Structure 1
Amino acid sequence: MSKQSDIELAKTLEEERRMAMQTGDADALEQMFDDELHYTHSFGNADSKADYIAKFRKGGFIYHELTCTVDTVVRRDDVLIVHGAMWSRATVAGQDRIIDNATSVVWSKTGGSWRLLVFAPTPIKR
């Protein structure tokens, strides 16, 4: 697969994730998250797939605005390593926040479908 199509694939996957997060679609997130997901948050705490989905369903993460960018993509067989950024205006555990992060995201193709395996943000200090 060409580098350009890897970038397009990553943009598609990230847009699907962004839309599900912003619209509150827990079922879509559950389908796109790998069972071994490691989701690190901006403050360093992390969730498994089950923990993230449970918190999401209870309104623990409400994304009022959310943008994700894809800057670079490295592909190794059925693994995409995506570097980009995520900015959002969100309510997290009842607190309004602005989230501004550089991100490293790992997607893995499992059973014929791409699944989010790792999300790792780094807060951007402006």
Structure 2
Amino acid sequence: MIKKLIFAMSFLMALSVSGQKKNDKDIVTNAAEKLRLAMISGDKSALETLIVPELTYGHSGGHIDDATEFVDKLVSKKSDFVTIDITNQNISIVGNTAIVRHHFYATTADLGKAPGDVTLDILLVWIKVKNDWKLLARQAVKSEKKK
């Protein structure tokens, strides 16, 4: 009888953990979408609510922004994303960390310049802070073609 009770409790706990991971994946998916929209709009408060102060934001050309630089470039339109399309997104949850990989295709108009195209593969690292997921790190690498 005790073995059956222990088995039943273990099964319920496993279902609960599995359900939480699915819920976390949904929340991270939503956070990544909010980040995409905030990067297009350049909305300072939206950007700041999605990141931690320790953010490290790596560009495909090798430059690394901190949280302040990341926000300032988007707000000032020094980095101006007209469109951002994300495909092939994959999310893995490990404890309180989410690893997100996706393909990133964007049209840019940095500081009002003629539109440009950016094709990248992105790695995002999100951490759970209380009940919210916040961006801790981002690294981009150049990609050959739109996937």
> Fold match, TM over 0.5?
yes
Q: What CA RMSD, in Å, does the superposition of the two structures yield over aligned residues?
A: 1.9
Report 1:82-93 matches (<5 A). Answer: 82-92=100-110
CA 119–43 in structure 1, closer or farther in 2 if over 3 Å, else same = same
Query: Which structure has the highest helix share of the two?
Result: 2
1:7 offset after TM fit, Å?
3.8
Which residue number in structure 2 is paired with residue 60 of structure 1? Answer: 78
Mark the CA change 1:122 to 1:92 in structure 2 (over 3 Å): closer, same or farther: same
2:38 counterpart of 1:20: yes
Secondary structure of 2:134 counterpart: strand
> How many angstroms apart in 1 are the aligned matches of 2:142 and 2:28?
21
Give the corresponding residue for 1:32. 50
Residues 42, 122 of structure 1: 8 Å contact kept: yes
Select the residue among 74, 79, 91 that pairs with 1:73: 91
1:111: Cα distance to partner? 3.3
1:43-54 → structure 2 map (5 Å cutoff): 43-54=61-72
2:125 to 100, 106, 124: 106
Asked which structure has the greater RCO (Cα within 8 Å, sep 6+), the reply is 1
Decide which structure has greater strand share: 1
Question: Once the two structures are superposed, what CA deviation does each residue of 1:59-89 show, in whole Å capped at 9, x if it has no partner?
Answer: 2111111112353222111110011111100
- TM-score, normalised by the number of residues in structure 2: 0.76
Distance (whole Å) between structure 1 residues aligned to residue 80 and residue 141 of structure 2: 20
Larger Rg: 2
Using structure 1 for the length normalisation, give the TM-score. Answer: 0.87
Q: Return 5+ residue gaps in structure 1 as ranges.
A: none
The Cα of 1:18 is off from its aligned counterpart by 0.7
